[in-house]
Chains A and B, each alone.
Chain A
Amino acid sequence: MKRYLWTLLGAALLLALTYVIPPFQNYQLATVAAYLCATAGLTVLTGQNGQLSLGHGALMATGAYTVALMQNAIGNLPLSLLAGVVVTTAAGAVIGLAAARLRGPYLAGVTLAVAVVVPGITTMFDDVLGGDQGLTFYLAPPPFGYDFPFERWQAWIALAAALLTVLLLGNLAAGRYGREFRAVRDDEIAARLCGIHLARTQILAFVVSAAAAGLGGGVLAVLAQSVSPGAFSLTLSLFLVMAIVVGGLGSLAGAVWGAILLVALPDLTTRVTEVFALPTGLAQRLEGNLPLAIFGITLIVVMILAPGGLQGLFLRIVKRGR
């Protein structure tokens, strides 16, 4: 019950926030929400169930392309997002079936292959999926009249998706399935002895996590009103892993930190490079690559020095403050 109240309170606060902040920041807020769907899903899979997936960028692409195709075919947004979730869930079930038999680096290798190879599939079926150009689609204007800012409408869609995802995943993690996920992560033999079906639990975690990634990808497509393979490269998958590791593996609050960082850090580096009057060539190269470098260093440093991530650090500070 407490969880629903918190969600309602969060929703009310965020709703108020969308009226205060300017359109561009609404758009950024929406992007954070879209990433949050995926990072929350990956947190359940990697943090709570111990399966590392490097392929969630590809799962987001599945959701995004489904939404784009459905928007062009029917044009009903809730239906398109639902279809995106359903199709990605199916894809996740296929990968999850294989993943349940694989451990450690083997699983990482297979999901890496998915991340590297899937964007190439768009050129394989370029008459349907638009090849390297991708697809664009039409998004109906908000139903509140034409003077309602479009970015605020997008933020509402994205926030609704993110809150729903976090609420459902939070319920799942707190209940019986969440306990089973963690039991399998910590000791497979002990979990088996307690009567937990290993493969079924792992597949369930993968499917749930894929559904969340599909919703995140679909929302990301709605924000851009287009999809292209370049947006779902291997780098995106690595970003998602970075986000959950930095946020703190296994906690949904950590997933929020990670999603915020994914949007805030590139923005921050762009502003910093703007402060120094750099030659345009160098500035351009820095703009695209500096966030990558910082993400990479963060990943290495956090993994070596503070495996608890930002959320762990935050909790330690809170505890000390009391």
Chain B
Amino acid sequence: MERLAFLTVDGLSRGAVYAAMALALVLIWRGARIVNFAQGAMAVAAAYVAHSVTAATGSFWLGFLAAPAAGLALGWLVERLVMRHVGHDRPLNAVIVALGLVLLITAVLGIVYGNEFRPAPPAFDRTAGFALLSPYDIFVFGSVAATVGALALLFTRSKAGLRLRASAFAPEVSRLLGVNVGGMLLLGWVLAAGVGALAGMLIIPTEFGLHPNAMDRSFVVAFTAAVVGGLDSPAGAVIGGLAVGLVLSFVGGYLGDQVTPLAIIVLLLAVLLIRPDGLFAKPAARRI
């Protein structure tokens, strides 16, 4: 029973981070119809910036805050320098360009920092404090909840949010009404990269450490979470993240850690084959 409770808390804590990453994927998908396959690599780059800032200043929190800031900057760069120029004649183009970014970012990180694992200390103690909840879990829940809340406020209660939603759903009409659609696209990328960087800072200390490929598997899990919720639904991304976190935690806890990789594929395939638009999407008519 205690094991069940422990696995539940651990799964939810990881799931919260996957939810944040999935939310970042959804943000870009809604705006640009692009799945940002480079998101994991971008988050790792931000985590390395945090590592450097902490090493230079000696302050952990300065480094921790530097990561989302670096993420925002990286999102800006990626959209302005690369993604904006990708042709939209075939949906494969953007995916392939994002994969090129993955190669480039991991290579640059490998050249600057080397390809060995570096320790990534967690912000708080990860051993259970009271009622199975470790201080780190509380920190994770708090920061993800704050991020999700801030994004929800931005999207539903601000003028920028209205413009963001408008340009995502009807770019042509929005442009005619005077909305800067290109700027909104940029804003979407910047926000998503910032959220992704924060998620990276939260997930990397719970795994093997900092490494240019540290987020590969987490990205796949986050993609699964986004698909479970439906790539179009921010609320679905959060629920999908928590659900996937729980499933993987139970599989890892009861069947063994080696089985989790297979569980990820099975889960992803099952969702895509049964409900390709996500569990929370209304069934839509599909051509052919």
Q: Which residues of chain A have a CB within 8 Å of any CB of chain B? A: 46, 50, 52, 54, 98, 101-106, 108-110, 112-114, 116-118, 120-121, 123-124, 188-189, 192, 198, 233-235, 238, 241-242, 245, 281, 285-286, 288-293, 295-300, 303-304, 307
Contact = CB atoms under 8 A, between A and B. Distances in A.
A109 B227 contact: yes
A188 B272 CA distance: 20
Nearest to B108: A293
A243 B220 CA distance: 23
A282 to B, nearest CB: 8
Contacts, number: 154
B75 to A, nearest CB: 16
A316 to B, nearest CB: 18
A296 B219 CA distance: 19
Interface residues of B, number: 51
A289 B261 contact: no
A171 B105 CA distance: 39
Contacts of B265: 110, 113-114, 117
B89 to A, nearest CB: 8
Interface of B: 29, 34-35, 37, 82, 85-87, 90-93, 95-97, 99-108, 110-111, 114-115, 213, 216-217, 219-220, 223-224, 227, 231, 258-259, 261-262, 264-265, 268-269, 272-273, 276, 287-288
Contacts of A245: 96
Main secondary structure of the interface of B (DSSP, over half): helix
22 contacts: A98-B272, A103-B91, A105-B29, A105-B91, A105-B95, A109-B227, A110-B272, A112-B223, A113-B223, A117-B217, A124-B259, A124-B262, A189-B287, A189-B288, A198-B288, A241-B96, A242-B99, A289-B110, A299-B99, A303-B86, A303-B93, A304-B87
A295 B103 contact: yes
Contacts of B272: 98, 101-102, 106, 110
B161 to A, nearest CB: 25
A285 B111 contact: yes
A109 B111 contact: no
A103 B188 CA distance: 24
